[in-house]
């Protein structure tokens, strides 16, 4: 981005308000690989916009991610549903990867729900199972807060991440789905999958699920004062823990198979989140 990332997000949020006719939104939901059908369960789309209409959003190149955002009405709440995201492994900077989250906060969202497809490391996690993220390991070697300091009026870049994933929102999720598993999410740069040795390392570090997104978005959202809720869908068992070979097409297919149920879960959470 040639423009500073905060101004770019503010410009995208202004364009979003203009095109949707909504001055502000309450909650943003970022959908992971293959989750697009989950958007239908959240609520009817009042408007659907291409990323290209908002500025600052490159089109995702990964199957299972659509280059669009919906403005959805869920009860009394206005919800932004991102049907896809971009990743660093596509060649993007951290600022570009978190542009959607920063745009959502600039549009008024005080709660950000981040979802993803993940490999299961923790015992008893099975493909098709949703997992509540309790904390994260950012192993990408990057942060969205590096570079020049934020402009005047924005929080310090030295952000406290002690409660990165909101205890309040996690309590809402557990109340809505008492049997929801909970785990630490390890975020790696990708796009290759982890080796069995790396999976053993991650297990030793306390990770229960592993993926290639989310960690930078969570940091960016928390930096701007938003509450963050994270939900992973286990789409495969991590390398070395299963005889199955890892394949992105199967990751997308697993997300598609579970999407309707995941959408219903998200819809049940939104009233307590807003």
pLDDT by 10s per residue, the chain, length 274: 457 999 999 999 999 999 999 999 999 999 987 777 788 888 888 999 999 999 999 887 877 778 999 999 888 899 999 998 999 999 999 999 999 999 999 999 999 999 998 999 998 899 889 999 999 999 999 999 999 999 999 999 999 999 999 999 999 999 999 999 999 999 999 999 999 999 999 999 999 999 999 999 999 999 999 999 999 999 888 877 876 776 777 777 776 777 778 888 998 999 999 7
Residue-by-residue DSSP string for the chain: --S-HHHHHHHHHHHHHHHH--S--SEEEE--TT-TTHHHHH--EEEEEEGGGTSS-PPP-STT--SEEEEEEETTEEEEEES----GGGT--HHHHTHHHHHHHHTT--EEEEEEEEEE-STT--TT-EEEEEEEEE-SS--TT-SSPPPTTS--SS---TTSS-HHHHHHHHHH-TT-EEEEEEE---SSPPPHHHHHHHHHHTEEEEESSSHHHHHHHHHTT-EEEEEEEEEEEPTTSSSSPP-HHHHHHHHHHHHHHHHHHHHHHHHHH-
**Active site annotation includes 89:** yes
Catalytic residue among 25, 87, 99, 223: 87
pTM for the predicted model, two decimal places: 0.94
**Active site annotation includes 213:** yes
**Active site annotation includes 201:** no
**Active site annotation includes 117:** yes
What residue spans define the domains of the chain? 5-273
Alpha-carbon span 114 to 127, nearest angstrom: 19
**Active site annotation includes 87:** yes
Catalytic residue among 8, 9, 22, 33: 33
CATH number given to 5-273? 3.40.50.1580
**Active site annotation includes 33:** yes
Side-chain-facing half-sphere of 80: CA atoms under 13 Å:
35
């Amino acid at each position: 981005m040639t423009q500073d990332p905060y101004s770019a997000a503010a410009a995208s949020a202004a364009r979003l308000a203009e095109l949707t006719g909504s001055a502000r939104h309450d909650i943003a939901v970022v959908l992971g690989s293959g989750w697009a059908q989950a958007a239908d369960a959240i609520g009817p789309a009042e408007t659907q916009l291409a990323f290209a209409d908002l500025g600052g959003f490159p089109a995702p190149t990964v199957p299972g991610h659509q280059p669009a955002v919906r403005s959805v009405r869920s009860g009394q709440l206005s919800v932004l549903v991102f049907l896809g995201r971009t990743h660093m492994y596509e060649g993007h900077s951290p600022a570009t990867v978190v542009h959607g989250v920063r745009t959502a906060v600039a549009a008024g969202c005080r709660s950000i729900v981040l979802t993803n497809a993940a490999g299961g490391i923790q015992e008893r996690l099975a493909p098709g199972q949703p997992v509540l993220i309790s904390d994260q390991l950012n192993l990408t070697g990057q942060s969205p807060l590096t570079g020049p300091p934020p402009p005047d009026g924005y929080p310090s870049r030295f952000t406290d991440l002690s409660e990165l994933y909101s205890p309040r929102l996690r309590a809402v999720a557990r109340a809505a789905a008492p049997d929801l598993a909970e785990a630490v999410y390890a975020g790696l740069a990708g796009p290759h999958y982890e080796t069995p040795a790396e999976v053993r390392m991650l297990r030793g570090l306390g990770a229960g699920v592993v993926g290639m997104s989310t960690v930078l978005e969570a940091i960016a959202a928390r930096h701007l004062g938003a509450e963050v809720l994270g939900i992973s869908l286990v789409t495969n068992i991590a390398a070395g823990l299963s005889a199955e070979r890892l394949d992105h097409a199967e990751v997308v297919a697993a997300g598609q198979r579970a999407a309707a149920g995941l959408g219903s879960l998200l819809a049940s959470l939104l009233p307590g989140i807003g």
